[in-house]
């Protein structure tokens, strides 16, 4: 196998352009080990066939769930057996596809498993309606009558919340059958933007002719060469602008799918339906947007300070990521160095936590480097019962990559501890909690780096990183949340969302959140077209709530030590055994209060105060 010198990235010593590396160019230790899921594709096929052959067993339970506690338990156990295999199948096909999205075999496997998911949903569609037809006191009596059923008490209580939104058997079957169709907009968007979308070449900050990619776009935004930032920014977003009609059609299709399912289930809006799933009050969403809208002053201060320190007459969107301070701004962080930095920053969490991190680092749970047709961005695969979680990265030697590693390993630890400590029925955590563990890790990493800074300039650099974290994880995500809420309301009101309307809406929100210092280029108005999270059905607001909760939890760990660490580990282990608001409350954070959000905006002001003192 040919080794690949990542210190030279995409250029050979003569400066000639190299293509994005092939997957076979990467050492095995930097690639996922999918044999932890299935040894071979043939083993995957065996489990796939087993599910297909056994699906008809669901019919044995149809109409009998209220007949006895033993029959109810048997149904639950069979359903868990199907679901656990299905999750494993999905994990394998997803990771194989995302490793190289040009391989049709794994695209096909991914399509097949999604079809199988839809088929399983059709076969299981009788379960919830039938359970809800059983008299509530009788159902709870059945749960209490067998020790093996006691574990399902919370899941039954949760199910009863959906009584008014669950349809009869035939309608549930129809909705289940429609589920696969509803995935088409996102699936098409993902393939289009990751495989088929073509980007032009630009001259980089070293005079080389480079092929723009998703990862190179982000890397370019940190370049000190402003003209290169602008070239990369405009080149990248122009590709989305040129395809805005197609992408807006997919965008509209996704929103309409969300609204269809919400209306079918008798919710007043798609947003209510999305939040009801995790028992999150609408007020949490509205209070978040309101709190941030009343506290733009820190963002406006930050934009004004950026403009001043950059020495520009106009601040543009491509100026928002580049560091303001020279020292260490060009420092490269290898993946190996980053692992040690992350471990050092998390020592306060104790040996068990660190041992698990090392297990992930040393056993190929992580796919590290960008390769041709690999999925862009970064993610953790989440909890798959009986299998450790995986992490996708696209490493580019930036400080941001170190934080991404800490972030995704936070997800990874949450999924690992949940899967290890919860039974199948609770072996996952709600989306509302998903960004707490990730930003918790980032918080401790940043504290560690600031505490170990070697100069005033380095401290300024890290303070800026903290401010950028608040900007991107709170203000930017709340802006996205407001955009998502408005676009759904417009479709619900029967309005059309053309590319022009979407661009105008995004531009107005961007201006509101950044304030008078920002000059918005036309290309930025097409950013709505490149954000995959807009296809995740009211996900993004939880980045902001998660950041606020993680700040509170990290402060408790730093102030209280071991008792707070134990509470935090209990949070990681809780899975979905309780409602997310309650899980956070038991860890010491009240998300029904505005105080976590307001504390973040106040902290931003204090960080700017500290920065201004250092630069006087």
C-alpha to C-alpha distance for 324 and 77, rounded to whole angstroms:
57
Between strands 366-369 and 391-395, the pairing is parallel
595: its two tokens: 């105080």
- Residues whose CB falls within 8 Å of the CB of residue 119, separated by 6 or more in sequence, listed in order: 52, 55
Measure the CA dihedral 492/495/499/500, to 10°.
-130
Please give the C-alpha separations between residue 36 and each of 99, 254, 363, 426, in angstroms, as whole numbers: 16, 34, 10, 22
Give strand pairing partners of 201. Answer: 211
Which helix (H) or strand (E) covers residue 209, if one does? strand 209-211
C-alpha to C-alpha distance for 378 and 405, rounded to whole angstroms:
9
Give strand pairing partners of 391. Answer: 366, 380
Give strand pairing partners of 406. Answer: none
The catalytic residue among 130, 173, 408, 523 is 408
Is 66 in contact with 130 (CB distance < 8 Å)?
A: yes
3-state secondary structure 73-126: HHHHHHHHHHHHHHHHHHHHHHHHHHHCCCCHHHHHHHHHHHHHHHHHHHHHCC
Is 592 in contact with 581 (CB distance < 8 Å)?
A: yes
For residues 368-390, one letter each, b for 16 or more C-beta atoms within 10 angstroms of the residue's C-beta and e for the rest, the string is bbbbebbbbebebbbbbbebbbb
User: Measured in Å, how far apart are the chain's first and last C-alpha atoms?
Assistant: 54
For this structure, is 408 an active site residue?
Answer: yes
Q: 196 exposed, middle or buried (CB, 10 Å; 0-12, 13-18, 19+)? A: exposed
- Residues whose CB falls within 8 Å of the CB of residue 522, separated by 6 or more in sequence, listed in order: 241
Cβ neighbours, 10 Å, residue 472: 14
Between strands 209-211 and 201-203, the pairing is antiparallel
- Residue positions annotated with a catalytic role: 408
């Amino acid at each position: 196998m040919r080794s690949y010198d990542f210190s030279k990235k995409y250029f050979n010593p003569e400066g000639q352009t190299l293509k994005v590396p092939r997957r076979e160019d990467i050492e095995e230790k930097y690639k996922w080990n999918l044999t932890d899921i299935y040894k071979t594709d043939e083993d995957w096929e065996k489990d796939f066939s087993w599910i297909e052959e056994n699906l008809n067993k669901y019919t044995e339970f149809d109409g009998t769930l209220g007949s006895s506690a033993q029959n109810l338990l048997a149904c639950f156990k069979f359903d868990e057996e199907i679901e656990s295999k299905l999750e494993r199948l999905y994990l394998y096909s997803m990771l194989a596809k995302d490793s190289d999205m040009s391989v049709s075999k794994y695209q096909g496997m991914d399509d097949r498993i999604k079809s199988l998911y839809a088929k399983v949903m059709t076969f299981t569609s009788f379960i919830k309606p039938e359970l809800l037809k059983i008299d509530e006191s009788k159902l709870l009596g059945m749960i209490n009558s067998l020790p093996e059923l006691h574990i399902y008490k919370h899941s039954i209580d949760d199910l009863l919340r959906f009584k008014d939104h669950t349809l009869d058997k035939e309608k549930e079957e129809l909705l289940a059958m429609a589920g696969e169709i509803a995935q088409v907009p996102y699936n098409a968007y993902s393939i289009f933007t990751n495989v088929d979308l073509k980007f032009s070449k630009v001259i980089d900050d070293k005079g080389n002719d480079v092929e723009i990619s998703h990862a190179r776009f982000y890397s370019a935004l940190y370049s000190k060469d402003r003209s290169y930032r602008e070239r990369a920014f405009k080149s990248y977003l122009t590709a989305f602008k040129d395809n805005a009609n197609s992408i807006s059609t997919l965008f509209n299709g996704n929103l309409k799918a969300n609204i269809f399912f919400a209306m079918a289930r008798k919710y007043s809006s798609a947003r209510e339906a999305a939040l009801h799933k995790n028992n999150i009050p609408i007020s949490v969403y509205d209070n978040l947007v309101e709190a941030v809208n009343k506290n733009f002053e820190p963002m406006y201060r930050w934009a004004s300070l950026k403009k001043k320190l950059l020495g520009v007459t106009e601040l543009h969107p491509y100026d928002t990521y580049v560091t303001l301070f020279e020292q260490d701004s060009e420092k490269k962080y290898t993946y190996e160095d980053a692992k040690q930095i992350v471990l050092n920053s998390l020592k306060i969490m104790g040996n068990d936590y660190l041992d698990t991190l090392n297990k992930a680092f040393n056993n190929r749970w992580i796919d590290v480097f960008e390769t041709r047709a690999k999925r862009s961005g970064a993610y953790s695969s989440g909890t798959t019962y009986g299998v450790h979680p995986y992490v996708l990265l696209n490493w580019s030697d930036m400080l941001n990559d170190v934080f991404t590693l800490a972030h995704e390993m936070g997800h990874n630890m949450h999924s690992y501890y949940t899967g290890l400590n919860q039974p199948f029925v609770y072996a996952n955590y709600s989306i509302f909690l998903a960004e707490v563990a990730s930003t918790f890790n980032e918080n401790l990493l940043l504290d560690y780096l600031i505490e170990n800074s070697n100069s005033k300039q380095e401290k300024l650099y890290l303070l800026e990183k903290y401010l950028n974290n608040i900007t991107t994880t709170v203000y930017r995500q709340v802006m996205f949340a407001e955009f998502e809420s408005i676009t759904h309301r417009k479709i619900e009101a029967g309005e059309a969302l053309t590319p022009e309307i979407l661009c105008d809406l995004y531009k107005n929100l961007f201006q509101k959140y950044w304030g008078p210092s920002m000059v918005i280029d036309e290309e930025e108005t097409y950013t709505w077209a490149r954000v995959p999270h807009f296809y995740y059905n009211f996900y993004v607001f939880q980045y902001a709530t998660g950041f606020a909760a993680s700040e509170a939890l990290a402060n408790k760990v730093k102030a209280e030590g071991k008792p707070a660490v134990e509470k935090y580990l209990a949070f990681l282990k809780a899975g979905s055994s309780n409602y997310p608001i309650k899980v956070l409350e038991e860890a010491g954070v009240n998300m029904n209060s505005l105080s976590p959000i307001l504390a973040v905006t106040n902290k931003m002001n204090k960080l700017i105060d500290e920065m201004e003192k250092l630069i006087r």
